[in-house]
Amino acid sequence: MKSSLVIKAGLILSIVVMTVTGAYAQETKAQKKAEAAAKIKSLIEARKYVFVAQSALPMSGRVRQITPDYHLTVTADSIVSYLPYFGRAFTAVYGATKSPLDFKTKSFDYTNTPRKKGGWEIAIKPKDQDVQSMNLTVFDDGYGSLQVTSNSRQPISFNGYIQEIKERKKKR
């Protein structure tokens, strides 16, 4: 009788501990998600972030997984695009050896509109490039999709994520 009372008390105690631990874990998970969303929001509002491409989706062909070296860096005064291109070109530049999506510009239009279900729609229109528009859809969790439309090439899309710009150490 005494041993069954001890077993029941131990069982009740373990249920209480699991319930409290589970509730705490859910609170911390929700807090981490809210902090991540706030960080992404601050990066986008400050216009100081990097879109790191993970996969490329050309109009024709298959999805290509790419290395994390490819990126689109956005700052308040410039755009640096280092992205690959897979697709059909309607006109070609003679002697071109680098990707048409590998450029730097300080002349561009930038609009940022919040989405109804969270996240942002960002439209970037470089003025001095073959690229007509770059539409970036960013979700609260930091993942996003970039659609690039060009004047003389098929459109291409990229999936990836947003992160803050890492400062590079200067060599002495």
Give the model confidence (pLDDT) of 16-39 as tens digits.
Answer: 656 655 545 556 777 888 888 888
In the chain, how many domains are there?
1
- Asked whether residue 1 carries a pLDDT value surpassing 60, the answer given is no
What's 78's domain CATH number?
2.40.128.410
Query: Are 170 and 162 within 8 A, CB to CB?
Result: no
Residue 94 falls within a domain, yes or no?
yes
Query: Are 162 and 43 within 8 A, CB to CB?
Result: yes
Mean pLDDT, the chain, integer: 83
Residue 63 falls within a domain, yes or no?
yes
Query: Are 87 and 58 within 8 A, CB to CB?
Result: yes
Residue 105 falls within a domain, yes or no?
yes
Residue 34 falls within a domain, yes or no?
no
d(C-alpha 41, C-alpha 148), whole Å: 23
Residue 172 falls within a domain, yes or no?
no
Domain range enclosing 130: 41-163
Residue 83 falls within a domain, yes or no?
yes
Instruction: Give the per-residue pLDDT at 22.
Output: 54
Instruction: Give the per-residue pLDDT at 56.
Output: 92
- Asked whether residue 5 carries a pLDDT value surpassing 70, the answer given is no
Task: Write down the residue that tokens 């059909």 correspond to.
Answer: 88
Instruction: Give the per-residue pLDDT at 124.
Output: 93
Residue 128 falls within a domain, yes or no?
yes
Residue 122 falls within a domain, yes or no?
yes
- Asked whether residue 139 carries a pLDDT value surpassing 70, the answer given is yes
Give me 17's structure tokens: 């501990």
